[in-house]
Amino acid sequence: MKKRVTVKSEREEYRLFRSRAYVAAGFIFVALALVFVRLIYLQINSYEHYTELSKENYQKRVPIPPVRGLIYDRNGVLLAGNHIEYVLEAREDGIINRDNALKRLMQLLPINPQDVYKFKQKQRVNSRFQPVVLRKNLTENEIAIFSANRFRFPGFKVSVRMQRNYPLGSLAGHLLGYVGRIDKKDLEKLDKYEYSGSTHIGKSGIEKFYETRLHGKAGYELREVDAHGKPQIKLEDKAPIAGEDLFLSIDIELQLKAEELLKDYNGAVVAIDPRNGEVLAMASMPAYDPNLFVNGISYRDYNSLRNNPDRPLYNRALQGAYPPGSTIKPMAALSGLNAGVVTPTRSLFAKGFFQIPGNKHRFRCWKKSGHGHISLNRAIYQSCDVYFYDLAFRMGIKRYSAAMKKFGFGQKTGIDLPHERSALMPSAEWKRKRYDKFWYPGDTVNTGIGQGYFTATPLQLAFATSIIANHGRKVRPHVLRATRVSRNLPEKLVTPERLPSLGVTKLSYWDDVIRGMVNVVHGAHGTARRAGAGAKYRFAGKTGTAQVYSIAQNKSYNASKLKKKLHDHALFVAFAPANNPRIALAVIAENAGGGSKVAAPIARQLLDTYLLSTDNKKNVKKEDKADLKVNQNDYSPLLDNVNKLKKINKNTTIRP
């Protein structure tokens, strides 16, 4: 231990102090150097990291949603547009005495308490600087009233919003589909950046299938915000790119006619231009109004649509798998010719039924007395069941199924619409897999007349008919005809997709089958001769009456004794003009009875509408055109649509 100083000494104390001061100085230097090292770490080593964090703090990217593309028919009639809606909204930070202001506003404008409740609820959740809507759909009058009193309501303002709108209501509703609010399921799939400002997304139909093209590209505005989220200045922005306008191949007048004609039935019509695969009409009845879905359908509306026994939400044209019945006989005939099972000339003796050798079961013909000696031509136009039982039986299911698949049966056509069904062209393997059962020869016999396990969608039927009309040339059916990136740019036509042609061993087979089909409508004994009477053009067709309910061996079909649901489906396929086809179609009316009685006349009227009115369009006067819309009184909603349609047509006719 150091010697202790016992006398107070200035000099000693001074020295002590100096040495202490040196040590302190050293300590100070080291301590501040350590802090400085920290500063170097923050400002040099982590500079980029913290710059990023700083930007995250004060830069807010406000997405600007693009304007959704419009949808037109082939003649430029607007089918889906963007309705401009005026809304009254407010930012919480701007309002003075909210409850009082709301009370006074309610005296001024029709605002119901429900709106006010929702408004308050949303304001609680949203940022103080985010506008919240109080009232939607302001009328011009209401805007005027508010504008005059605006000074009394600081913080409130009228804004414009875009809302998807289907001006023709339920017309072509299934085909167009609809947009709806983006939900959780959509969020998982969609591009977070592109949809950051969007509220709606295509949920079905064209709106869903062409979602990316219709939606467009989002823009943004980069804003500076302070710590409380209050926007300051704009830093940069990028304008959104509007979605593409789509021109469908649909002819809305034909579509309207189809829906009018089907209005008493559940059913579907599909019309295709066989030359290029363009779908001219695709109707499914009953229909629904897609406008209901845009802003969230009410629980009641949705339930009534859902629980309706006629199932209006279901697109029968794409999703209805019906037994095609006799409508597939032309395709079966061609398959038989191609396989060499039948010839154009050789005839068969048809009793009123067909029996598999060694089996007692009778496969009955619709004509109990039988057709007698029957050729291919007559077998088609008289729709002889026995001839086709025999054909299918002799081809065997393997060959028959493979040949029919070439007409597109049992597989999706690949049309540009969502939720298409493939229906069923059965085979032995299918039955083994599905039911774990053997394929019996009797199963084959039934497929020969489009019954049994065989099902097809109206679209498939129309497509198969168009293949015959085209002599085997196949073009994939499609709904999109042209697109337009901008109103100032020309439309770009979509190139139809050619599929491998259906080859035949002898080219004349096509004419052999088509002759039979022409005789169906124009022949003296054709099953649909009444529907063909007086036509200004020659066309080809085939009736079909599909059993929904199996009739026991010893009983006969008696419509009056069966429930409506179990009545036969009426079907008809046709194309016209027979020698140079421009339209092929399939009509199905559920539980409507015979194809010749119900479906064929519908088809005839549609052909007239398409061929005659388009042929003579320029010559038809306005009054005549109005006369085309028959039964004006009993279907006024559609009539309203027609009037709207005309108006729109006048204003915005664009012919791509």
Active site residues: 326
How far is the CA of 347 from the CAs of 362, 378, 444, 607, 621, in angstroms?
21, 9, 21, 33, 51
Cα separation, 625 vs 616, in Å, equals: 11
Q: Whose Cβ is closer to another protein: residue 59's or residue 112's?
A: 59
| 57 forms part of the interface with another protein (CB under 8 A) | yes
Told to check if 54 binds another protein by CB under 8 A, we report yes
CB of 122 to another protein, least distance (A): 23
DSSP lists the bridge partners of residue 576 as 583
Among 3, 11, 39, 358, binds another protein (CB under 8 A): 39
Only one of the segments 20-28, 294-302, 359-367, 393-401 lies at the binding site for another protein (rule: CB under 8 A); that segment is 20-28
Q: Give the binding-site size for another protein (rule: CB under 8 A).
A: 44
Q: Does residue number 29 form part of the binding site for another protein (CB under 8 A)?
A: yes
Which residue, among 96, 171, 490, has the nearest Cα to 105 in the 3D structure? 96
125 binds another protein (CB under 8 A): no
DSSP letter (8 states) at residue 599: I
Among 5, 67, 148, 551, binds another protein (CB under 8 A): 5
**Segment contacting another protein (CB under 8 A): 16-24, 95-103, 305-313, 598-606?**
16-24
Per-residue binder mask for another protein (CB under 8 A), 223-262, x = binder: -xxxxx---x------------------------------
Q: CB 12 → another protein: shortest distance, Å? A: 8
User: Of residues 151-180, which lie at the interface with another protein (CB under 8 A)?
Assistant: none
Span 105-124, contacts to another protein by CB under 8 A: none
Packed helices 508-522 and 329-339: angle between N→C axes, nearest 10 degrees: 150
Nearest alpha carbon to residue 228 among 127, 154, 155 = 127
Interaction between residue 140 and another protein (CB under 8 A): no
Decide: is 26 part of the binding site for another protein (CB under 8 A).
no
Residues 6+ apart with CB under 8 A from 171: 252, 255, 256, 259, 287, 638, 641, 645
**Helix orientation angle between 329-339 and 458-469, rounded to the nearest 10 degrees:** 50
In the bound complex, what is the minimum distance in angstroms from residue 129's beta carbon to another protein? 14
Alpha carbons within 13 A on the beta-carbon side of 619: 5
Residue 25 touches another protein, criterion: CB under 8 A: yes
Q: Token digits for 278?
A: 């363009």
Indicate the residue among 125 and 227 with the shorter CB distance to another protein: 227
For the stretch 63-85, what's the b/e string if a residue is b when 16 or more beta carbons lie within 10 angstroms of its beta carbon? Answer: bebbebbbbbbbbbbbbbbbeeb
The C-alpha torsion from 295 through 419 and 263 to 519, rounded to 10°, is 160
> What is the nearest approach in angstroms of another protein to the Cβ of residue 222?
13
3-state helix, strand, coil in the chain (%, to 5): 40, 20, 40
Q: Which is nearer to another protein, 61 or 161 (CB)?
A: 61
**Per-residue tokens: 91:** 């930012």
When binding is defined by CB under 8 A, the residue of 3, 11, 26, 42 that contacts another protein is: 42
12 binds another protein (CB under 8 A): yes
One of 3, 11, 26, 36 touching another protein (CB under 8 A)? 36
Told to check if 435 binds another protein by CB under 8 A, we report no
Nearer to another protein, 36 or 549 (CB): 36
Question: Site residues for another protein, window 58-87 (CB under 8 A)?
Answer: 58
418 DSSP 8-state letter? T
Q: Which of 3, 35, 184, 500 binds another protein (CB under 8 A)?
A: 35
DSSP three-state, residue 233:
strand
DSSP-derived secondary structure for 119-156: HHHHHHHS-TTS-EEEE-S--HHHHHHHHHTGGGSTTE
Stretch of 5-13, 411-419, 497-505, 641-649 contacting another protein, by CB under 8 A: 5-13
**DSSP string over 347-370:** -EEE-SEE--TT----EE-SSTT-
Q: Does 53 bind another protein (CB under 8 A)?
A: yes
Nearest to 137 by CA among 83, 102, 87: 87
Interaction of residue 493 with another protein, rule CB under 8 A: no
Residue among 296, 277, 326 nearest 448 (CA)? 326
Among 26, 46, 296, 373, binds another protein (CB under 8 A): 46
State the binding string over 196-225 for another protein (x if CB under 8 A, else -): ----------------------------xx
Q: Which is nearer to another protein, 49 or 238 (CB)?
A: 49
Site string for another protein, 574-613 (x = CB under 8 A): ----------------------------------------
Least Å distance, CB 64 to another protein, is 23
Measure the CA–CA gap between 60 and 338, rounded to whole angstroms. Answer: 69
- Is the Cβ of residue 25 or residue 489 nearer to another protein in the bound state? 25
Q: Are 329 and 379 in contact (CB under 8 A)?
A: yes
Least distance in angstroms from the C-beta of 18 to another protein = 6
Q: Which is nearer to another protein, 191 or 236 (CB)?
A: 236
Tokens representing residue 476 in the block: 């994939």
Within 10 angstroms of residue 433's Cβ, the number of other Cβ atoms is: 10
Residues that bind another protein (CB under 8 A): 4-8, 10, 12-14, 16-18, 20-21, 24-25, 28-29, 31-32, 34-36, 38-40, 42-44, 46-47, 49-51, 53-54, 57-58, 224-228, 232
